[in-house]
Amino acid sequence: MTPAQDTNRDASSDLSSDLSAVAAKAGGDDPKAAKEERRPGPDLNLIRTGATVIAVLGLLALLHFAASVFITLFSAFLLAFALEPVVHFLCVRTRLRRPHASGVVVFLFVAMLYGLFYATYLRAESFLVDVPALTEKIRTAPMVREVTRRGQELNRVFAEAGRRLTPAPSPSSRQKSDAPVATRDDADTFTRTLLQGLGSLSGVLFSLGFIPFLVYFILADREPLTRRTRELFPEEQHATVGVILLDIERMMRKFLLGNAVIALILSAASVMVFLLLGLPYPVVLGILSGTLSIVPYLGLPLALFPGVVVGLVSFASGGPILILIASVTVLHLVAANYLTPKLVGGGVRLNATASTVALLFFGWLWGGMGLLLGIPILAVLKCIFDNVPSTRRIGMFLGV
């Protein structure tokens, strides 16, 4: 080995030792740098969970404060799903293009609704005039007075027991409790609860004015809307989105048309029963009872309410009331066990627990309109969950 090679090897050895010393000083001798290297990173799962919770809370706030907008949109989509077969039939059987066929169908549907409401109003005009007198008769009926008296007595017993269990209030709190409490009329409270999501009468008229136009635009632009909805997602998910849209459309159409036929059958049967029993205003009360009977899980008590309330002041004995209760109950059970499986079938594949929770939640959120829209909204969500692999377990949980 030459002296030049020895010199190069010594120089490289010195350079390696110097680099090792620098690295040791930077890593081992500096505790701050070592601590920064050992510090764990942020928990991505925790961040994702927090963002999901915030998003859900924001969605709930949006559904609450923009209730009239969402109720109008959901109602328009449901009507569009129900009227789509008629538009398709006109497009196939006639030379009408889809925009023209959609306009004809929406116009005829609005005219039919106006005719039904006008005929119902003519039938119910005398009933509406007699409502104040009927309400007074119900309040002064012996059975109602007895039930009210027992309820007040039971309330007094519970209040007395509560006063014995709780300590006596201080004078200052007693003076505050003696302050007058403002009360609201029962009818006004019921109306506000029923139209909680839509607000005042002007809000209802405003929403009803928008629904026909929305239905027309949804029907006329069905193909472009479907294509644009698919294009919102990546190309590999276009087939899945198309399947979801078809599934939602098929399920909603079967649900709406089936329930409409069931309501028509129950209304006709209820009118006949009320006529045979001699109940006043049989047409109005029969249509009301048959329509309320299709409300999921609450249909039977709602269907019994109109006839029983009027029967309390119309019949001298309890026999006709018992026959009325038995008849409405039998009609409701026949509809639930035979008509609904045949006409609605497996269109809405929801279990009883999920459906009840949906009614409870949307009824609290939107009042009476929430009771009507809760089941369709949950059914649409289930269609989405069933076709997305990551949420398929949620769809199975909501199903039967």
Sequence-distant (≥ 6) Cβ neighbours of residue 320 within 8 angstroms: 277, 278, 279, 311
107 and 133 fall within a common domain = yes
Total of domains in the chain: 3
Report if residue 126 sits inside a domain.
Answer: yes
312 and 379 fall within a common domain = no
196 and 136 fall within a common domain = yes
Q: Is pLDDT above 80 for 67?
A: yes
72 and 215 fall within a common domain = yes
212 and 71 fall within a common domain = yes
270 and 353 fall within a common domain = no
Q: Is pLDDT above 90 for 19?
A: no
pLDDT score at 139: 66
Residue 269 tokens, joined:
């049967």
pLDDT tens figures, 176-224: 444 444 444 444 554 455 455 555 556 667 777 888 899 999 999 888 8
pLDDT tens figures, 126-141: 666 666 666 666 666 6
Phi, psi of 157 (to 5 degrees): -65, -45
More confident residue, 296 or 259: 259
Report if residue 331 sits inside a domain.
Answer: yes
Helix 201-220 × helix 98-129 angle, to 10°: 150
Report if residue 173 sits inside a domain.
Answer: no
336 and 214 fall within a common domain = no
- pTM for this predicted structure: 0.66
370 and 260 fall within a common domain = no
Report if residue 270 sits inside a domain.
Answer: yes
Report if residue 212 sits inside a domain.
Answer: yes
Of 103-112, 165-174, 228-237, 331-340, the poorest mean pLDDT is in 165-174
Report if residue 388 sits inside a domain.
Answer: yes
307 and 322 fall within a common domain = yes
Report if residue 211 sits inside a domain.
Answer: yes
213 and 112 fall within a common domain = yes
pLDDT tens figures, 285-318: 888 888 888 877 778 888 888 888 777 777 767 7
Return the C-alpha torsion angle 261, 266, 269, 274, nearest 10. Answer: -140
State the residue range of the domain holding 400.
348-400
CA neighbours within 13 Å on the CB side: how many for 175? Answer: 2
262 and 307 fall within a common domain = yes
318 and 381 fall within a common domain = no
